[in-house]
Amino acid sequence: MTKNILPNANESETILPKINKKKSKMHSNLKYIKKNYQLYLFFTLPPLLLLIIFKYIPMGGVLIAFEDYSAILGTLHSHWVGLKHFERFLASPDFMNLLMNTLKVSLYGLLWGFPLPIILALLLSRIKSEGIKKKIQLILYAPNFISVIVISGMIIIFLSPIGPVNQFLGTATNFMAMPSSFRTIYVASSVWQATGWASIIYTAALSGASQELTEAAVIDGANIFQQILNVDLPAIKPIMVIQFILSAGNIMSVGFEKALALQTDLNLPTSEILPTYVYKMGLLNGDYSFSTAVGLFNSVINIVLLIVVNSIVKKLNEGEGI
């Protein structure tokens, strides 16, 4: 009964000889598509069109990284220059500094941003009263709903020479103008904003899995460290792995809206990162091709990092990656 309504694409394969397999598969696929045309026309087509227009056409647009783009000639007919822009970028005195700034700010971000939500979730799971836990979580999630502009505005207020931090310290330091404090400001504010929200996924996994096991472990005389090591961590390990790989793969795509908002002329030596540079070169200086080349360089590093981290994790984690 069901099979007639929801036909199985492979159903006919067993009946027909192997030589006809390919042909018959195509035939049954066509039959399926005809029968379920709504799935294709109504459901799949609109999102697929948006995907092709707004994701794949720009992907083809990276061609301009290898051209001297001219708006009059367009992407397809602009003058082809090969790797000129990449060479210019790699040879420019800014290159090393930009690369290191980007790597450092995101590495520090990962170093704090990966373990802290896990620790927070482990702590929260020890709070027995559901009511209190819910209230605490509500507070922990709040910063996630505050905008980049407001967070940056708050930072600028708090750290201004006449702001509360300086009033408290009795000094008048202009933190926003110090290159040496940019990374700390950036990472600390990300921790402030994101830790609570990032802990949800671990909290949910912990509350689902470990209640009975923890009780059993307590009866067996396990202390808290042993409980965490043997019950809690195994329960969240798969999620930890995925989160780690994903954030490592995103290492070059720093939340650049905040970096841009926190930039001042004076902290540029550390706050200028590849994505903000791409923006300035492209949209402010109008150097479209060069900017695209830098952006492409950035995303290639990203993909390489993702693949490398994934294969390392796979090796360490008995073949489990993404």
Partner 1 sequence: MNMKMKKFKKLSFSDKSITISGYVGVALFVLAIIIPLIYIVIASFMDPITLNNQGITFDFSKWSMEGYTRVFQDDMILRGFFNSVFYSTAYAVISVGITLLAAYPLSRPDFVGKKIITTLYIITMFFGGGLMPTYLLVDNLKLINTVWAILLPGAINVWNIILARTYFQSLPKELREASAIDGASDITHFFKIMIPVCKPIIAVLLLYQFVAQWNSYFDAMIYLDDAKLQPLQLVIRSILIQNTPRPGMIADVQSAAAMAKMAQLLKYSTIVVSSLPLLVMYPFFQKYFDKGIMAGSVKG
Tell me which residues in 243-282 interact with partner 1 (CB under 8 A).
Answer: 249, 257, 260-261, 275, 278-279, 282
For the record, the structure tokens of 129 come out as 């009263």
Give me the least distance between CB of 6 and partner 1, in Å please.
5
Q: Using CA atoms in the order 55, 60, 63, 68, what is the torsion angle rounded to 10 degrees?
A: -70
Q: In Å, how far are 106, 148, 193, 252, 278 from 262, measured between CA atoms?
A: 15, 10, 15, 18, 16
Minimum gap (Å) between residue 179 Cβ and partner 1: 18
**Nearest C-alpha neighbor of 7 from the set 35, 27, 41, 42:** 35
> Pick from 283, 308, 312, 316: which binds partner 1 (CB under 8 A)?
283
The stretch near partner 1 (CB under 8 A) out of 58-66, 84-92, 101-109, 265-273 is: 58-66
CB of 37 to partner 1, least distance (A): 9
**Min dist. Cβ of residue 79 to partner 1 (A):** 16
Q: How far is the CB of 60 from partner 1 (least distance, A)?
A: 7
- Contact between 168 and 161 (Cβ < 8 Å): no
Using CA atoms, how far apart are residues 173 and 266, in angstroms rounded to an integer?
13
Give the one residue of 20, 23, 27, 58 binding partner 1; rule: CB under 8 A: 58
Stretch that binds partner 1, among 16-24, 76-84, 103-111, 220-228 (CB under 8 A): 220-228
- Long-range residue pairs from 299-307, CB within 8 A, at least 24 positions apart, any chain: 299/252, 299/253, 301/252, 302/249, 302/250, 302/251, 302/252, 302/253, 303/249, 305/248, 305/249, 305/251, 305/252, 306/245, 306/248, 306/249
Q: How far is the CB of 319 from partner 1 (least distance, A)?
A: 14
Q: Binding of partner 1 at residue 209 (CB under 8 A)?
A: no
Residue 213 found at the interface with partner 1 (CB under 8 A): no
Stretch that binds partner 1, among 16-24, 82-90, 100-108, 300-308 (CB under 8 A): 300-308
Min dist. Cβ of residue 62 to partner 1 (A): 6
Comparing CA positions, the residue from 141, 244, 259 lying closest to residue 200 is 141
SS3 content of the chain, % helix, strand, coil (to 5): 80, 0, 20
Nearer to partner 1, 20 or 44 (CB): 44
Phi/psi at 138 (nearest 5 deg)?
-55, -40
Other beta carbons within 10 Å of 306 = 18
The stretch near partner 1 (CB under 8 A) out of 13-21, 84-92, 94-102, 162-170 is: 162-170
Cα 199 from Cα 117, distance rounded (Å): 4
Q: Is 304 in the site for partner 1 (CB under 8 A)?
A: no
Q: Does 75 sit near partner 1 (CB under 8 A)?
A: yes
In the shown chain, the binding pattern of residues 90 to 129 toward partner 1, with x for contact by CB under 8 A and - for none, equals -----------------------------xx--xx-xxx-
Q: From the list 105, 259, 306, 309, which residue makes contact with partner 1 (rule: CB under 8 A)? A: 306
Count of residues engaged in binding partner 1, rule: CB under 8 A: 101
> Whole-number minimum distance, CB 167 to partner 1, in Å?
5
